Amino acid sequence: MDKLDFLREVRPFDKVPPEDLVELLQGLYERRFEPGTLIVRKGDEPEPALILIRWGLVEVFIEKEGREVVLGYRGEGEVLGEETFITRGPYPYSAQAVEETLIYCLPWNGLSRLMDKHPELYQKLSKLMGRRMAHIYEDLPRVLPGEPQVGIADTSLLRHRVGEVLREKQLVLASEGMSVVDAARLMRREGVDSLVVMRAGKPVGIVTDRDMVTRYLAWGCTGAVLGDIMTPNPITVTLNDFAYQALLLMLRHGVRHLLVVDAASKPFAILTQRELLRSKTEDILELTDRAARATSIEELRDTHKQVPLIIEALMADNASVREICEVVTEFNDLVISRVVDISLRELQAQKGPPPVPFCFITFGSGGRREQTLRTDQDNGLVFVAGEKGEGADGYFQALAEKVVFALDACGFPLCPGKMMATNPLWRRSMVSWREVLEEWFLHPTREVMLRCSMFFDLRGIYGDKGLVSRLWEMIFRYVKTYPGFVARMGKSSAEIKPPIGLFGRFIVEKSGEHKNAIDIKLRGCLPIVEGVRSLALVEGIRETNTFDRIEALAQVGTFTRDQADELIYTYQFLLTLRIRNHIQLLEKGKKLHNHVDPSRLTKRERQILKDSFASIYRLQQLVVARTEAMFLPN
């Protein structure tokens, strides 16, 4: 096989016309390596060429504390040095020949000329780099045993497994019928701060030293057994789960202890807050604990001010944008829940308990679990109708006013469009929501489309979340009944065109405060969010997170795997630009905005941004075709 035929079988060059590959091959040169010979060394300045393995086997590794840690192997048809071509930085790993190896070196200048003709190659190579580095991060915890110092200020929190975070196997079992007094003696004797409560050989709860004090006293210190004071249905993780996943569980459920189970789902250990995050500075769980114990809006306000520090720490920790958004949203959910709870307690002292079940709901980025810095309020309320519900709106209006203005005091700005529970449009009984939804589906005006673009990300925050499930059932029922609405929504989602001109130039603001910049949120993130949402409605997908919707759409066949990967990469890249821009503005003490000047990006980032807008264009074409097809008769 000659060099051209070989290159035509190697991704990402397999889609390039042969005549363009011939030009690339003119600068190609070969190198041969004997077994054990170093090909590249971590930290060295790169040779300005992409390395393509013609034949042989190459070991990729790093050195950690004097030990060689193998990250993987690459063979015929695989590349080395793709990271340096994108970043122009030093090699992030070392590589040596395991057996006799022949490599082709493709000079950067030839690659750049080829990619000027075929811009999609930038994105393919960037995606390859992203996947490779993700795999490296996932593998590191398995090959670096020991006692890692993990915390908000460390760089390993999101890449370590639970099994590596555990400092010691702290596990003491006790029956649910054991008296609290005997249990306290057992904990003191074993030197632990928690017990796993068992029933018929299965874990049914956890009791901590804090439970011993607070809940035992509530029983009057007489006759209480562990079954009376335990936290039932313990939250579990496995040894192979990421520490990041354990962190989210603690945030979501407001607990400090998780039960670690083995492969047979049997109790193995207790993972504590202290083990998960060890830092000399205030960490995420400490902030969460402060928010959970807050008894005033002032305390919550002071706690919520720390969100920028959380984001900065997670970015320094090499967390993905998806991980950052999930952690921040969980924290914000807790703060909002505490605000509702405190406000409800104040109202109950004046007007008594709520007359009917209700749920405080969130829309927009909060509903999608994609919050970052200082997101406006987008919230509402649903309550049960019926005999008691007829006059309930007055009660919930008072509650909404307390909650919305308290959230504003905590750092959640009021929505300029008044999409808040204080507005009767977004505070309704279940019957009223059904009526207005049908009205929206029957008459999809532009204003209705704007409302639905936010509402169709709804998620319950506080109260009876079963009411939110009923709202989603209504939405999907109307989607099937009124397919013309979905076609209109799909067309509406494609109205914001990617800011790329005929000759591949960025279309930027021509004047004003943001001259020469692009609104990354409006022109990049929003078209993806709206297009993916429209497709999710067509397929009856209940997920609200954009990444989760993309994955679900791939599972049902709406997207191919490559299309899904491309969209996920594109959305992550755009969100990263947005968050990075916000952090830089905060550091300069400037007002936050979403405008990014392409000229301030690196050459590679500009090319990836162009590729991202091309991906958005393809998505919009697919959305319009798919939603219109739903409207057409079979």
CATH of the domain at 58: 2.60.120.10
Q: Are residues 199 and 267 in the same domain?
A: yes
Q: Are residues 34 and 129 in the same domain?
A: yes
The count of domains in the chain is 4
String of DSSP letters for 594-629: -EE-GGGS-HHHHHHHHHHHHHHHHHHHHHHHHHHH
For helices 546-555 and 561-587, the axis angle rounded to 10 degrees is: 170
Q: Which two tokens stand for residue 362?
A: 């969130």
Residue 361 lies in a domain: yes
Helix residue ranges, H only, 413-501: 430-442, 446-455, 466-481, 483-493
Neighbours of 240 (CB within 10 A): 11
Q: Are residues 349 and 269 in the same domain?
A: no
Q: Give the domain extent around 549.
A: 518-631
Q: Are residues 269 and 305 in the same domain?
A: no
Quick one: pLDDT at residue 130?
46
Q: Are residues 310 and 393 in the same domain?
A: yes
Q: Are the C-beta atoms of residues 285 and 540 closer than 8 Å to each other?
A: no
Domain boundary among the residues 276, 293, 320 is at 276
Q: Are residues 255 and 368 in the same domain?
A: no
DSSP state of 521: I
Residue 546's CATH number: 1.20.120.330
Q: Are residues 331 and 388 in the same domain?
A: yes
* Per-residue buried b or exposed e for 248-272, using 16+ beta carbons within 10 Å of the residue's own CB: bbbbeeebbbbbbbeeeeebbbbbb
| pTM of structure | 0.64
CB half-sphere exposure, 202, CA atoms < 13 A: 7
Residue 606 Cα distances to 215, 421, 503, 595, 599, angstroms = 58, 41, 15, 14, 8
How confident is the model over 474-528, as pLDDT tens digits? 999 999 898 889 888 888 888 888 898 766 788 888 888 899 999 999 999 999 9
Count of H helices and E strands in the chain? 26, 21
Quick one: pLDDT at residue 142?
36
Nearest Cα to Cα of residue 425 among 471, 461, 393, 390: 393
Q: How far is CA 352 from the centre of its chain?
A: 39
* Residue 568 backbone phi and psi in degrees, to 5: -60, -45
How confident is the model over 151-177, as pLDDT tens digits? 333 334 445 677 766 766 678 999 989
Residue 490 lies in a domain: no
Identify any residues that bridge with 337 across adjacent strands, giving them in sequence order.
Answer: none
Q: Are residues 361 and 414 in the same domain?
A: yes
Q: Are residues 36 and 92 in the same domain?
A: yes
Which amino acid does the sequence have at 486? V
* Per-residue buried b or exposed e for 8-39, using 16+ beta carbons within 10 Å of the residue's own CB: eebebbeebeeeebeebeeeeeeeebeeeeeb
Quick one: pLDDT at residue 144?
36
Quick one: pLDDT at residue 75?
78
Q: Are the C-beta atoms of residues 458 and 437 closer than 8 Å to each other?
A: no
pLDDT along the chain (634 residues), means of 10: 80 78 86 91 87 86 67 76 71 85 89 74 55 41 34 42 68 89 84 88 87 64 78 88 75 81 84 63 62 83 78 65 81 90 93 93 92 83 74 91 94 90 94 94 90 93 94 94 88 87 81 91 93 93 94 93 88 88 82 90 82 90 86 54
Domain boundary among the residues 215, 246, 276 is at 276
Residue 622 lies in a domain: yes
Quick one: pLDDT at residue 119?
64
Helix (H, G, I), strand (E, B) or coil at 131: helix
Residue 374 lies in a domain: yes
The helix or strand, by DSSP H or E, that contains position 101, with its residue range, turns out to be strand 101-107
Residue 182 lies in a domain: yes
Residue 207's CATH number: 3.10.580.10
Quick one: pLDDT at residue 405?
94
Residue 448 lies in a domain: no
Nearest Cα to Cα of residue 341 among 287, 285, 297: 297
Residue 212 lies in a domain: yes
Neighbours of 206 (CB within 10 A): 23
CA distance 408 to 406: 5
Q: Are residues 384 and 365 in the same domain?
A: yes
Quick one: pLDDT at residue 322?
80
Residue 343's CATH number: 3.30.460.10
Q: Are residues 217 and 343 in the same domain?
A: no
Residue 184 lies in a domain: yes
Domain boundary among the residues 77, 108, 143 is at 143
Q: Are residues 187 and 96 in the same domain?
A: no
**E-strand spans in 370-418?**
379-383
